[in-house]
Structure 1
């Protein structure tokens, strides 16, 4: 039987300094600082780093990569605890016929209870 886990969105946006598609599991402050700086490398001033208690929590992040128009989105919709692993359910959205022109880099950062289980990102 699978259990759903709670999570809190740290930040979700359409513009970041992260140009390539990627998934992240962050379990320490140094890696969190680095990911936050990369995410906001195009922002002035850079927003303050949100506090995460890495003794009890971890950060999960999904990045869609750079797209050449608006309407693209990525989000973590659910966390499902399975036998020996944690599934991160990821939803990607593509634009319809009407979309803005311009570069976008959608992302979603969450925090949830720390686990040592294998983490699988599922699309």
Structure 2
């Protein structure tokens, strides 16, 4: 028994360290107006596309401070669109992220006005822009 213990210790201590998978995300911006009329998502993987996207939002200059410089070697930008809605009170955001061997699985959270709650009578197109980990594949659920 005593001879086996050093061997077990050697096996355990020589096993490779577990790689910690990045599951952090940052909501950069969200709004009820300005997203796509169709529900869906878009992944932005380079700075040029990101700048073009930001310019397409037609935001006021004061709102540009919300947008971060992104290191696209480590992160991607994910844009979630809830689609066109008949009233205010809708929102889309990220609930959680799982990094499964470089497959990024994003669980989105969509909310709407509660029954009986007052909401503005205006057409909205809620969207969310988030900084997510880089991955080989991105799945939005």
- What TM-score, normalized to structure 1? 0.80
Equivalent pair of 2:104/2:133 in contact (CA under 8 Å) = no
Equivalent pair of 1:27/1:59 in contact (CA under 8 Å) = yes
Corresponding residue number in structure 1 for 2:133: 113
- What TM-score, normalized to structure 2? 0.71
Matched, 1:82 2:100: yes
Shift in Å, 1:105? 1.4
Structure 1, unpaired ranges of 5+? none
1:51–1:83 CA distance, 2 compared to 1 (3 A): closer
RMSD over equivalenced CA pairs, Å: 2.1
Matches of residues 25-64 of structure 1 in structure 2 within 5 Å? 25-38=43-56, 40-41=57-58, 43-45=59-61, 47-48=63-64, 49-64=67-82
- Runs (4 or more) in structure 1 with deviation over 6 Å come to none
Structure 2, unpaired ranges of 5+? 1-20
> Bigger shift: 28-37 or 73-82?
28-37
Give the length in aligned residue pairs.
117
* Structure label with greater radius of gyration: 2
More strand by share: 1
More helix by share: 2
Corresponding residue number in structure 1 for 2:109: 91
1:50–1:18 CA distance, 2 compared to 1 (3 A): farther
